[in-house]
Amino acid sequence: MKKKICVITRHAIVNYGSFLQTYATQEIFNRYGYDTTILDYVRYDEEYRNVTELLLKKSNKWNKNFLTRLIYRIVQWPDHYICGRVFEKKRNKYLNLSERITDINKEKSKIPNADIYCTGSDQVWGEIGGDDIDPAYFLDFVANKKAKKVAFSASFGKSNYSEDRICKFSDLLKNYDYITVRESSALDLVEKSGQKSVQILDPTIIYGRDNWDKVLPTIKDKNYVLLYQLNANSKMDEYASNFAKKAGLKLIRISVELHNIMRTGKFKWCLSPFEFLSYIKNAKYMITDSFHGTAFAIMFNTQFVEVLPKEKITRNLSVLQQFGIEDRILREINDFSYIDKMIDFNAVNEKVNVEREKSLDIIKEMLS
């Protein structure tokens, strides 16, 4: 009989990286012979049907009167509800989900029995919803003392936390049997918390290009620069537009936010996660401020330019440093040398393969 592993991660956000890292984690563990279940823990503030109203309540700009609230709902509802439905359908089709849990303390009977409980990847240990950390992502709900508790390529989201927060991390991390983290900065935070950890790659990279290629659909668009932008940045818009013109290519923008239809580029709204990957793979160039956008560009050997976000830059920096391509960071808004200055992907691929093999060995040890 197969051993069972139950993974908790932030799988239900309307975000390509969130879905794809969850899918990769599930498939990696399955290939090690485990029966993998994704704990369908969806906080009230991350359930797509609730997001529009919750964000509206927090907005001083839009929560002023009937008219401003109406405009906000008209603009934001399609993003949260329609795209939420697209992602929900993919989760239900591709992820082996447990029963839905919205309050983990009140619904412990729904938590599957498992030999291993695992905190999954991405920003599981950071502040969620702009508030506090969520102890559920530190496996505080696990009652079975015989079960092994591990963390798989986990991330704090950022590198600077107060001493009080680090003390809280210390209490929550001490119950793990094995901790692996995604960024080098997370190694330091875990150490400050009095525990030990090992750095491994993001599961999307560990899963490997050959496996992703099997699920990618065919797309019709060719000869384009792809813009995947998560953070508001008018200079990034301008740069992408000028970059595409100078390269003699059309610009395609992918987003789950419908209001971006007004911005530069041919707009692709709410593509499926696997369509999203096809657009990265087939782009001549990619311009991005996204960690997972960067990770997939590296894996598919797509030439890219990195625009670092204003906050939480450690994630992006870490993966660039890991593969020796920090020179892809845009320093000057008028620097279009990246059109001709190509990444040596032969050298990068060698590093990826070495780190991937190391990560696979660590996973094997973690699960044993």
- Mean pLDDT taken over the chain: 94
- Would you say how long the chain is, in residues? 368
Rounded to 10°, the helix 83-94/16-31 angle is 0
Cβ 230 vs Cβ 290: under 8 Å: yes
Q: How far apart are CA 156 and CA 22, in angstroms?
A: 17
- Per-residue pLDDT reduced to its tens digit, 248-284: 999 999 999 888 898 989 999 999 999 999 999 999 9
Q: Who wins on pLDDT, 328 or 143?
A: 328
Among 262, 263, 260, smallest CA distance to 271 is for: 260
The model's pTM is 0.94
pLDDT, mean of residues 223-236: 94
Distance CA(174)–CA(31), nearest Å, equals 29
Domain architecture of the chain: domains with CATH: 4-50+84-199 (3.40.50), 211-346 (3.40.50.2000)
Percent of the chain with pLDDT over 70: 99
What's the confidence (pLDDT) of residue 314?
84
- Give the list of residues 6+ apart from residue 108 with CB closer than 8 angstroms, or none: 141, 143
Q: If you ran DSSP here, which 8-state letter would residue 264 be given?
A: S
For position 342, what pLDDT does the model report?
A: 97
